[in-house]
Chain A
């Protein structure tokens, strides 16, 4: 294992939510971001020497972005969908087992100007997510 380039990252989506073989790559993207954060409840008491927290519920959300491509409408279809789809995020496709995936609701944006129009989307978990297992 070694540090890998992000150039071969991959984002896949399946609107049915099934995942697996029905996942299809969303093309023309150039970035994705996943945030995994757990709520922390402040349980600091009298005479504690510092603040003390206990973990609450884990939250997963993030974003994807890239270029507008009329052959790729997945983001916008997902933003319109009433049910969540299966989203899969891969840092590098040469290590296809290292990925995060789960059901997600997506929103979409398009930013058009005189340069190449950009698209972006945000997502929030809609079910349990799985991540890469520790080696």
Chain B
């Protein structure tokens, strides 16, 4: 039976969700692709690119690129934790092995940092801080 790529996604999410420091910085939680309505401080993980790298006889490894971003609604009365959250994400992921059934970890590392402000299309007074990075994860099959 081939290994389950979604288990890699799940392991990445669990790494982030299980960290109390990141939970304090992003109290709404860590989500794949979208956060629940009403969330104002959270982490979004999304898959940017993925490839199965083959070898003779079957797959060699899976090459996955994730965007991992802390997002917060800019509010005058609330101090931004974007910098600390992005740094904590990096501490949790950079060079940290992932344990996933059916795979052997090869690497997890940041390929590029990300930082920008998103302005709401309908209400320019609503702004979101987005900070984090794109993380390369490679897992050997078997």
Residues of chain A at the chain B interface (Cβ within 8 Å): 6-11, 25, 27-32, 66-67, 93, 116
Contact status B106-A30, CB under 8 Å: no
Assess whether B61 is in contact with A30, with CB atoms less than 8 Å apart.
no
Q: What's the nearest-Cβ distance from chain B to residue A67, in Å?
A: 6
Known: A116-B106, A116-B138. A8 touches B57 (CB 8 A): yes
* Contact, CB under 8 Å: A30 / B138: no
Contact B56 A9 (CB under 8 A): yes
5 nearest A-B pairs in the assembled complex, by CB-CB distance? A9-B56, A30-B55, A29-B56, A28-B55, A67-B60
CA distance A93 to B57 in the complex (A): 8
Selected A-B contacts with CB under 8 Å, 30 pairs: A6-B56, A7-B57, A7-B58, A8-B57, A9-B56, A9-B57, A10-B57, A11-B56, A27-B55, A27-B57, A28-B55, A28-B60, A29-B55, A29-B56, A30-B55, A30-B56, A30-B60, A32-B56, A66-B55, A66-B56, A66-B60, A67-B55, A67-B60, A67-B61, A93-B57, A116-B53, A116-B60, A116-B61, A116-B106, A116-B138
Contact flags B34-73 to A (C-beta < 8 A → 1, else 0) = 0000000000000000000111111011000000000000
Q: A9-B56, A93-B57, A116-B60 are in contact. List 10 more A-B contacts (CB 8 A).
A: A7-B54, A8-B56, A27-B57, A28-B55, A30-B54, A66-B60, A67-B55, A67-B60, A116-B53, A116-B106
Taking the closest CB of chain B, its distance from the CB of A50, in whole angstroms, is: 42
Which residues of the other chain, B, contact A6 by a CB distance below 8 angstroms?
A: 56
Size band of the B side of the interface? 10 to 19
Using a CB–CB cutoff of 8 Å, the interface residues on chain B facing chain A are 53-58, 60-61, 106, 138
Which of B54, B57, B58, B61 has the most A CB atoms < 10 Å from its CB? B57
Which of A7, A31, A32 has the most chain B CB atoms inside 10 A of its CB? A7
Chain B's closest residue to A91 (CB) is B56
A74 → chain B closest CB, angstroms = 14
B104 CB, min distance to chain A CBs, angstroms: 11
Nearest CB on A from B64, distance (A): 13
**Shortest Cβ gap from B46 to chain A (Å):** 23
A6 to B56, CA, bound (A): 7
The residue on B at minimum CB distance from A11 is B56
Q: Which residues of A contact B61 (CB under 8 A)?
A: 67, 116
Q: How far is the CB of A29 from chain B (nearest CB, A)?
A: 5
Residue of B nearest to A64 (CB): B56
